[in-house]
Amino acid sequence: MLESVALPPTGPLPDTLTLFEHLADAVYLIDPDTSNIVWANRLAWECLGMTRDDILNHSVLSLQKDIHGLPQWSEIAGIIRASDCYRFIGRHRHRDGHEIEVEVLTTSFEHAGRPYFLSVARNLSRQLAQQQDLQDREKQLWFALNEAIDGLWDWEVATGKLYFSPQLKRMLGYGPDEMAPVLDTWKLNVHPDDVADVLGVLSEHMQGKRARFEAVYRLRNRNGHYLWVHDRGRVCEFAPNGEPARVVGMVHDISDRKQLELQLQELASFDPLTGLPNRREANAFLDTQAQLCRRMNLPLGIAFLDIDHFKQINDLHGHLMGDQVLRQVGTVIQSTVRGSDMVCRWGGEEFLILAPNTALQDMHRVAEKVRQAVVDATSGLPVSITLSAGVSAARGQAIDIRTLIAEADSALYKAKSEGRNRVESTLPATQPA
């Protein structure tokens, strides 16, 4: 049975109203002058948790939360009359107090000389919920992607256009409208020492010689500092002729990890107190230089240096003073020898000088120069610092690392046994190696 209120004798046709009962949206017939609802389909009140009597002959403003009072209604009514279809996004009140988002489409017409508004209100709650769910999922996916990587790039090979994601620009210290979208913007910011290797790997991937582009390199940021990045990409589109057309990739900032890696490498190769290479690094250098000197028939000199009475310095003045002495002695030795020579902290209070292309007489003079430089440079300390040194050398195929070290160590023992603060060698200093 058609639910309706009494209409004028020439009211809307019952058959037309019956059609509205089958709509999935709420339908209201409104008196434009009073804003009263003169007819509605069943869904109009059921979706609001109301009854027929709750809305019929009541102002449509009682349903709306965003239109207040007849003056505002009169203004809107004028707009509706002037429009083919007036669209309004609003909120209807449910009986239990919550709000329902609605999209209302209103048209005006006349029947039997009387004006009416016909409003169709669509409940947007489910649609908004679906949109929100999609947006939430999209946000989650983008969040996960952005958390997993620090930047995206997309290269159109034919045009040379290179897209940098906002995250990548932010990582490098640029705003979203900066960084020209061309290949040179990236290429010119790769560290000069890395650019050849990186471009080589990219070229090999583009030629099909590598399954993907992957490189670890340094990339300059806005302030001129370099970040270590792990860059991976792959050709994702090909031109009709089979040539790569589009390459996409992602960049991770691995500066912290790389810095830690470099620090660990430094700890493995350098003495943390003096900053000099340690015994491990010295042995590697010694192997390399011994091979070179054998091949080139060059001499290789070694000097063992030991701080005299170092235990007394620790015992009388404390370990902080001992550490200061070690650091200063290491600095003096390093500044006295040639740049091609290596100075290392061999262990404890012992230092080692490795001098390629240095014969025994020259090695003796180097050690003596270092001994005197340490005495002069540490004269201001509250303790007297002297060095004892033992030197050895060999040439070409006669070079044997173990023998060189043993001879220098023996010469050092001789220097200590003969009064310290002196340089001794395995052979008289006037005899060539």
Q: pLDDT tens for residues 89-124?
A: 878 888 888 888 888 899 999 988 899 999 898 887
Instruction: Name the token pair of 203.
Output: 């070229």
pLDDT at 422 > cutoff 90: yes
pLDDT at 132 > cutoff 70: no
Instruction: Name the token pair of 220.
Output: 């300059």
Q: Are strands 387-395 and 423-425 parallel, antiparallel or unpaired?
A: parallel
- Please report the pLDDT score of residue 150 as a whole number: 74
- Please report the pLDDT score of residue 365 as a whole number: 94
Determine which one of 46, 99, 110, 349 is catalytic. Answer: 349
Residue 99 a catalytic site member: no
Q: What pLDDT digit, counting tens, does each position of 346-397 carry?
A: 988 999 999 999 999 999 999 999 999 999 888 777 778 999 999 999 999 9
- Please report the pLDDT score of residue 6 as a whole number: 46
Sign of the C-alpha dihedral computed for residues 186, 187, 193 and 199 taken in this order: positive
Among 28-37, 163-172, 288-297, the range scoring the smallest mean pLDDT is: 163-172
Mean pLDDT of 166-190: 87
pLDDT above 90: percentage of residues in the chain: 41
- Please report the pLDDT score of residue 5 as a whole number: 46
Sign of the C-alpha dihedral computed for residues 405, 409, 411 and 415 taken in this order: positive
- Please report the pLDDT score of residue 136 as a whole number: 65
Q: Rounded to 5 degrees, what are φ and ψ at 112?
A: 55, 40
In whole angstroms, what is the distance from residue 33 CA to residue 43 CA? Answer: 24
Mean pLDDT of the chain: 85
- Please report the pLDDT score of residue 133 as a whole number: 64
Q: What pLDDT digit, counting tens, does each position of 135-145 carry?
A: 666 666 656 55
